[in-house]
Amino acid sequence: MFKDITLGQYFPGNSPIHRLDPRTKLLLMIAYIAAVFLVQDMWLFLAVGAFAVGVTLLARVPASYLWRSLKPLRLILLFMFVLNLLMIQTGDTLFHWGFLRITEGGLRQAFYISFRLILLVGGTSLVTLTTTPIALTDGLERLLSPLAVFRFPAHELAMIMTIALRFIPTLLEEADKIMKAQLSRGADLESGNIFQRAKAMVPILVPLFISSFRRADELAMAMESRCYHGSEGRTRMHVLRFSRRDGLAAAVTLGLIALILLAQA
């Protein structure tokens, strides 16, 4: 029943993009997002798009995977396009019918917002497609760790994320099992109004919660028995190190973004 849900869309590979430090990818992703929001020109959108395509090729991620992450966007995209098209009324009128008026400015904005959304989701998907969830949380923790000075719980946050990622498939499997068990006891999950259906979920949710608590308890015990005591004095098995590759990637990306923004100014 849950077999179609795939979480964490990592595409295993060994490309130069895969091998970049997760911190590099996260920081460059932020720069890329900023660029996508600052660009206000059709040609420059194409330039940013070309950059994203270049990275995709370099990462050797199949287009179908990227397409899959863009697919859920279709409705939002359509909605934003139509909204901008009809609501923004600047420049020459291109089309007029009853109360509908489409202007040149509206058309332009509608296209801009669509490109922005596609580039945004496509670009960030590239990061999650080429970085394992564990590496991603690791990178995030290291990037946020300077905030520890302000008592920001960077390590704890990263640990929570790691544990959540680890247990999502387990929970789905468990939910599937319990659901099957109750189905074979005659549970009817498909008919009735919304209240009846919510009520029918109780026999699945209660055992699921109980087993989650039990699991959390066991995990806490296992971690403590292996002397886990938070971030203090904790060293790492995989130490993140910037390499020349990271410098190159940063230089190329930031250079391109600078060029694009200069061209716009």
Partner 1 sequence: MAIQLQNVTYIYMEGSVLSQAAVSDIRLEIQEGDFLGMIGHTGSGKSTLVQLMGGLLQPTGGRVLVDGLDLGDKKQRKAARPRVGLVFQYPEYQLFEETVAKDVAYGPHNLGLAPEEVEARVRRAMELVGLPYDRFGEKSPFALSGGEKRRAALAGVIAMEPRYLILDEPMAGLDPMGRKAILETIAGLRQETGCAVVMVSHSMEDVAQYAQRIAVLHQGRLVKAGAPGEIFQEEALLRSLGLELPVPCRLAAALRARGMDVPPVYTEEALAAFLLERGKHV
Sign of CA dihedral 236, 232, 132, 126: negative
Residues that bind partner 1 (rule: CB under 8 A) add up to a total of: 20
Cβ proximity to partner 1: between 120 and 187 the closer is 187
- Does position 241 interact with partner 1 (CB under 8 A)? The reply is no
Residue of 116, 131, 129, 135 whose CA lies nearest to 49: 116
Q: What are phi and psi of 10, to 5 degrees?
A: -55, 130
**Span of 26-34, 38-46, 83-91, 181-189 interacting with partner 1 by CB under 8 A:** 181-189
Q: Which of 38, 50, 147, 181 binds partner 1 (CB under 8 A)?
A: 181
Do the beta carbons of residue 10 and residue 131 sit within 8 Å?
A: yes
193-232: which residues touch partner 1 (CB under 8 A)? 202-204, 206-207, 210-211
CB of 63 to partner 1, least distance (A): 17
Q: How far is CA 181 from each of CA 68, 79, 243, rounded to the nearest angstrom?
A: 32, 41, 52
Cβ proximity to partner 1: between 4 and 232 the closer is 4
Which residues lie across from 93 on neighbouring strands? 103
- Does position 42 interact with partner 1 (CB under 8 A)? The reply is no
Residue of 6, 27, 22 whose CA lies nearest to 132: 22
CB of 174 to partner 1, least distance (A): 8
Interface residues with partner 1 (CB under 8 A)? 3, 174, 177-178, 180-188, 202-204, 206-207, 210-211
